[in-house]
Amino acid sequence: MNIVCTTLNAKYIHMNLAIRYLKAYAQPEFDVKLVEYTIKDPVLNIVTDLYQRRPDVVGFSCYIWNIEETIKVVKLLKKAAPDVIIVAGGPEVSYDVREWMEQVPEFDFIVIGEGEETFKQLLFALEGRKEVADVAGLAFRDGDRIVMNPQRNKLRLADMPSPFRFPEDIPHLPNRIIYVETSRGCPFSCQFCLSSIEVGVRYFDREKIKDDLRYLMKHGARTIKFVDRTFNISRSYAMDMFRFLIDEHVPGTVFQFEITADIMRPEVIEFLNKEAPPGLFRFEIGVQSTNDEVNRLIMRKQNFAKLARTVTMIKEGGKIAQHLDLIAGLPEEDYNSFRKTFNDVFALRPEELQLGFLKLLRGTGLRLRAEEYGYVYMDHAPYEVLANNVLSFDDVIRIKQVEDVLEKYWNAHRMDETIEYLVTDVFPSPFDFFQQFGAYWDERGWARIGHQLEDLFRRLHEFLRTCASDALPVAESLMKYDYLRGQKHKPRKPWWEEKTEKTTRTTVYRALLERPEALGEDFAALGLGEKELFKHTVVEIVPVDVGRYIAAKQLSFAPTAIVAYFDPSGTGATVFSAPLSTLFTSSASA
């Protein structure tokens, strides 16, 4: 029997964990072949590739991000190969199973819930070694009748085989995101999340996980993401794994975890701040809302004060990047409440702030109670909220405008100093800046066209010139600083029109040749001669002492030279600055 397990990943860099567990669990009785595509691949290309493999059975792993494209593939594959047996599984089809079987007659079977044992037993049945009717956790067709067998008991995870020991995966490990599961289930009951349905937390064998991690690092894995819903629910377990990863990591490897921040003890953070190498760990923290009543309605226990303490301590440690999540559209969180939530969380200045929108997932408590809160949402995956009883579609559109520019201007870290100035000193709040800029961005039609880096600077400049012209001198100065700092090579044509006169630049260069220490010891240590100075630096005169602002967040209006030095090796720019009065006074006194 020729068995293929497949899925359509959101991106090429992803590596699906579920189908690898199916393959590992089916061995040695069955040899399951794995093949992965993306949701961007043409459907006919996928079907052609599957068809040419001549499978008897094809299993599809289904999620909200791929179900629509998966159904297209399944329908076309059944037309091309009517005898192929189609098995669907995964979180998207594990709920409303009868509805899926009715809507997609091409599904011969649906594996419900945890699939490893069910899928293997189905393969035995297809070989004639047992009856399909005896396979727990399986939906199937008996003539025109749809049969749904009861779900099976949960697996003992400590006995699970490794999903990583396939030779064909080894060449791809350095270039993919590798997903690792050390537990299943979640102790919390958040009503928007599928994990709330499974009671309790079960753990895989800890030593087996460590062996798998050693194997992955040995074969070049660089990005390893733990998919546990709450990695730190057991403090002793988390500490043991953190200690192991710190002691045995391969340089260049990054580990990402989903953590619950308000239960993380200060001594754990102190340990990480002291022991973890910079950049080794990355934390994803779901905040969702800071409104206590909203959290009560979705059965989410959260102490925001403790969460903020954790995030702040981690940030002050400077070792671990943090990604914080918000969800717009939760019950009774109107536009003004969400604005407060956004500002509460942005005040923590996370490296990334993801603004997502509620998805009414099949099987979740909120979907079952959608009518109670007046939810209007997409009929098809991803079932995203369009409105509810306190949030209109107009409000959703406005918040989406925030999301668009937040991603481009904060999460991408292209102009940190500029944004810090704007959200702190110019606009009433961070949310107001992103909202006003996002609305302007939308009105100008920029959401429908592409952009290069320079375009992002020009568009922010245009917005400020139109909507906050008083702030333009400072903002423009900081934008030039941010732009130069972010370049790897000396820019041929920066985003701004050339304003500094050649004679002024020549005067600055002359002063720097005479007294390079006027720009600081680090600049003087470069030992640049006249030729190197002209060849490898950019000089721009701005009306604000940017060095003082960046160091102390104090505004001082004084004509200032920004000098960006670009290392010939291409490692990037080092930016120096000093008021002209300092440069020229030093030069004159020399």
Is 471 in contact with 423 (CB distance < 8 Å)?
no
What distance lies between CA 318 and its chain's CA centroid?
20
User: How is residue 406 annotated by DSSP?
Assistant: H
Buried b (16+ CB within 10 A) or exposed e, 89-112: bbbbbbbebeebbeebebbbbbbb
**Residue 376 counted as domain residue:** no
**Residue 378 counted as domain residue:** no
* Residue 81: C-alpha distances to residues 58, 73, 447 (Å): 11, 12, 42
Dist CA 575 CA 584 (whole Å): 19
Is 40 in contact with 68 (CB distance < 8 Å)?
no
Predicted pLDDT of residue 506: 86
Structural domain count of the chain: 4
SS3 of 489-512: the string is CCCCCCCCCCCCCHHHHHHHHHHH
Q: Can you give the pLDDT of all 590 residues of the chain as single tens digits?
A: 999 999 999 999 999 999 999 999 999 999 999 999 999 999 999 999 999 999 999 999 999 999 999 999 999 999 999 999 999 999 999 999 999 999 999 999 999 999 999 999 999 999 988 899 999 999 999 999 999 999 999 999 999 999 999 999 999 999 999 999 999 998 888 999 988 777 789 999 999 999 999 999 999 999 999 999 889 999 999 999 999 999 999 999 999 999 999 999 999 999 999 999 999 999 999 999 999 999 999 999 999 999 999 999 999 999 999 999 999 999 999 999 999 999 999 999 999 999 999 999 999 999 999 999 999 999 999 999 999 999 999 999 999 999 999 999 999 999 999 999 999 999 999 999 999 999 999 999 998 888 999 999 999 999 999 999 999 999 999 999 999 999 999 998 899 987 667 788 888 989 999 999 999 999 999 999 989 998 999 999 999 999 999 999 999 999 999 999 999 888 889 999 999 988 887 444 44
Dist CA 18 CA 115 (whole Å): 9
118 with 137, same domain: the answer is yes
Which tokens go with 215? 């194997």
| Cβ-based neighbour number of residue 15 at 10 Å | 22
224 with 354, same domain: the answer is yes
140 with 233, same domain: the answer is no
**Residue 406 counted as domain residue:** no
Predicted pLDDT of residue 498: 73
Dist CA 327 CA 306 (whole Å): 20
Predicted pLDDT of residue 303: 96
**Residue 235 counted as domain residue:** yes
Q: Within a 13 Å sphere around the CA of 222, how many CA atoms are in the beta-carbon half? A: 8
pLDDT digits (tens, 9 = 90+) for 351-395: 999 999 999 999 999 999 999 999 999 999 999 999 999 999 999
Domain with residue 24: its CATH number is 3.40.50.280
Is 389 in contact with 404 (CB distance < 8 Å)?
no
119 with 249, same domain: the answer is no
Dist CA 87 CA 70 (whole Å): 12
**Residue 139 counted as domain residue:** yes
**Residue 496 counted as domain residue:** no
Longest CA span, the chain: 98
* Residue 410: C-alpha distances to residues 342, 353, 457 (Å): 13, 8, 13
Check whether the bond before 382 is cis (ω within 30° of 0): yes
Dist CA 522 CA 573 (whole Å): 13
The single-letter code of the amino acid at 590 is A
**Residue 182 counted as domain residue:** yes
**Residue 143 counted as domain residue:** yes
Predicted pLDDT of residue 587: 46
Domain with residue 268: its CATH number is 3.80.30.20
Last residue of a domain, one of 293, 328, 358: 358
Last residue of a domain, one of 460, 486, 512: 486
User: How is residue 113 annotated by DSSP?
Assistant: S
Predicted pLDDT of residue 197: 78
The alpha-carbon radius of gyration of the chain (Å, integer) is 28
Dist CA 207 CA 61 (whole Å): 28
Which tokens go with 349? 């200045």
DSSP-assigned letters across all residues of 465-485: HHH-GGGHHHHHHHHHHHHHH
pTM of the predicted protein model: 0.93
298 with 346, same domain: the answer is yes
Hunting for tokens 């399951």 — which residue is that? 32
Dist CA 115 CA 121 (whole Å): 10
Is 321 in contact with 282 (CB distance < 8 Å)?
yes
Is 172 in contact with 36 (CB distance < 8 Å)?
no
437 with 472, same domain: the answer is yes
The SS3 of residue 173 is helix
User: How is residue 424 annotated by DSSP?
Assistant: I
Predicted pLDDT of residue 221: 97
* Domain housing 511: 502-584
82 with 190, same domain: the answer is no
What distance lies between CA 508 and its chain's CA centroid?
44
* Residue 516: C-alpha distances to residues 82, 533, 540, 578 (Å): 78, 11, 16, 11
